[in-house]
Structure formats: structure tokens, C-alpha cells
Amino acid sequence: MNMRLTWICHGATAASRKGLFPLDEPLEEKAMAEAGRMAAPPRADRIVMSPALRARQTAEALHLEARIDQALCDCDHGRWAGRSITTIEAEEPEGLMAWMSDPEAAPYGGESIADLRTRIAGWMDEQSTLGGHVVAVTHASVIRAAIAHVLHAPLSSFWLVDVEPLAVIRMTSNGRRWSLRLQH
């Protein structure tokens, strides 16, 4: 069954600008305004979003009536949530290095990058069986995991994909395989 999937990354937050592992923070005022100026996504059969406040506010600013889908939540960073990468590097350099070099590692007690990719790949495959067009408002980490899944890329490539706030990424599936779709 043919399917289109449009990913929209939530807008910027103070945490993302300061290099903090996210909690459930709101969008910056500027991000709300930027999202409000974006072109509306094309008609969709299903519009879903992460339960995080920043995703909900992005969907609202885009005038999307989205339903919450728990599968689209951000990577669980466990005890590192709310802390800066700089602090983690100073206090737990081995843990930070393990997290950035081993996709199976979760030194913070949360979800590994490998687990995140498995969760997102399963969600995408489930959506593919339903067909139609899905718009999903979620997090950069979720979108990076989806891209790695679609490209059959090694998980080490997760860190090589930069998904900016309010980025729109499109994918298609013919029911057998996914493709990344780049448009101008």
C-alpha cells in the first residue's frame, strides 16, 4: 500500500539552544511565530504528534488538529534530562563517549539510539500498512532515527544527520520499502 509520511520537527526551545538534554519545555516565542508563518502541510489522512509540549505547541502554531501518539516521543535520556552536554562531559566523560560512539549504550538509564530506531521503524512500518498520508510533528532524534531506518544506514550515521527546528522531511513507502523524498 502506498504511503506518504511528512515529518515536521518541533520548533526551537531554550534547552535546544543551550545544549541541554530536553525535558518537557515550551517553544521559544520566536519559534511559535516562525511556525505560524510556515506553509500548511498538504492534506493528510492522519496527523499525529509527540506528547511533548514543544511538539504540541508546534502543531498548534501550524493549525494542525493532531492526535498524540506516544510512539513519537523523544528519546528517553533518563537521568541526563535537563542537564547540559558540557556538564555531562565534565562529570561523566566515559558515559558521554559511550553514548556518542555505541548506539546500544544508554549510560543515563534511558533509551539507547538502537532502541529509538527500533521503536520508530516499527511505528513507520505500522503506518505503512495503513497507507495514505501521515503528518507527524515530533523531535529531531526521532526524525534522525527514521532517516537511518529508511536509508538502511549504520546507526553510527545517526550523529551525521542534522535536523533543524521546524524542518520538514518527506518519505514514501510502497508497502515493501521506504524512500527519502527530497523536494525544493
Map out the domains of the chain as residue ranges.
Answer: 3-181
Please give the pLDDT value at position 42: 75
CB atoms within 10 A of CB 71: 16
Superfamily of domain 3-181: Phosphoglycerate mutase-like (3.40.50.1240)
Please give the pLDDT value at position 97: 95
What radius of gyration, in Å, describes the C-alpha atoms of the chain?
A: 16
CA-nearest of 2, 30, 39 to 172 is: 2
Please give the pLDDT value at position 182: 85
Please give the pLDDT value at position 132: 96
Residue pLDDT tens, the chain, 184 long: 799 999 999 999 998 889 899 999 999 999 999 998 998 777 899 999 999 999 999 999 999 999 999 999 999 999 999 999 999 999 999 999 999 999 999 999 999 999 999 999 999 999 999 999 999 999 999 999 999 999 999 998 999 999 999 999 999 999 889 999 987 5
Please give the pLDDT value at position 141: 97
Contacts of 77 (CB under 8 A, 6+ apart): 21, 22, 108, 110, 111
Please give the pLDDT value at position 41: 76
67-68 sheet: strands from edge to edge: 67-68, 46-49, 132-138, 3-9, 168-173, 178-181
CB 31 within 8 A of CB 13: yes
Please give the pLDDT value at position 184: 58
CA distance 30 to 24: 18
| Sequential DSSP letters for 34-101 | HHHHSPPPPP-SEEEE-SSHHHHHHHHHTT---EE-GGGPPP--GGGTT-BHHHHHHH-HHHHHHHHH
pTM: 0.95
